[in-house]
Amino acid sequence: MDKLTFSSVSPDQEALVLNWLHKPHVNEWFHGTGLQNTIEGLRAFVANGTPHFDPWIAYCNNIPFAFLITSDVLDSEANYPENPLAKWIEVGKKAITLDLLIGDETYLGKGLSTPMIWEFLEEVHPDKDLVFIDPEEVNKKAIHVYAKAGFEKIDDFIASWHPVPHILMRLRRG
């Protein structure tokens, strides 16, 4: 059985993640403003540890293969109706957003995404009650994986960083 582990991105992994972010299978979904925001956040984290998100590396049998991004969802975000999460925030519940990609193509199609999500949340964020993820509506593979991991569709929206239809999905834990 494959052993999945996780660590915060280290400065010496910046080049690896940047390489993954420029692969064709990743650029289908990470591009434009969203890609630029991800790169800027990664560089800020590596430079001084203060990005607007937390970057993680997933390992399969000690080999890095995937990149995950989490951000805390603050109760105050419910006050901003332009935020797609606003009406779904449950004040007092601990919540995060999650985004992820498999960077190393040799790990695509191996059935690792669902267990990666479960194990990541259990190991890194066991205290979170709610997890939100927002794939593009046309990314049927991701939507299937997220549903398999227990996420449910709760809304549709047009993303400000990429103005095409997205689906907001939520995982309730605990």
- Cα of 109 vs its chain's centroid, Å: 18
Q: Is the pLDDT of residue 33 over 90?
A: no
Percent of the chain with pLDDT over 90: 69
pLDDT of residue 51: 67
**Long-range CB contact pairs, 150-156, < 8 A, 24+:** 154/88, 155/84, 155/87, 155/88
Residue position matching structure tokens 């660590």: 7
Q: What is the pLDDT of residue 142?
A: 95
β-bridge mates for residue 121, sequence order: none
pLDDT band at 12 (very low <50, low <70, confident <90, very high): very high
Residue ranges and CATH numbers for the domains of the chain are 4-172 (3.40.630.30)
- How many CA atoms are closer than 13 Å to the CA of 6, on its beta-carbon side? 21
pLDDT tier for residue 171 given thresholds of 50, 70 and 90: very high
The distance in angstroms from the start CA to the end CA of the chain is 26
The predicted model scores a pTM of 0.92
pLDDT digits (tens, 9 = 90+) for 91-132: 999 999 999 999 999 999 999 999 999 999 999 999 999 999
**Which residues, 6+ apart, have CB-to-CB distance to 44 below 8 Å?**
50, 51, 52
Report the sign of the C-alpha dihedral through residues 167, 5, 71, 131, in that order. Answer: positive
Cα separation, 35 vs 60, in Å, equals 25
Mean per-residue pLDDT of the chain: 92
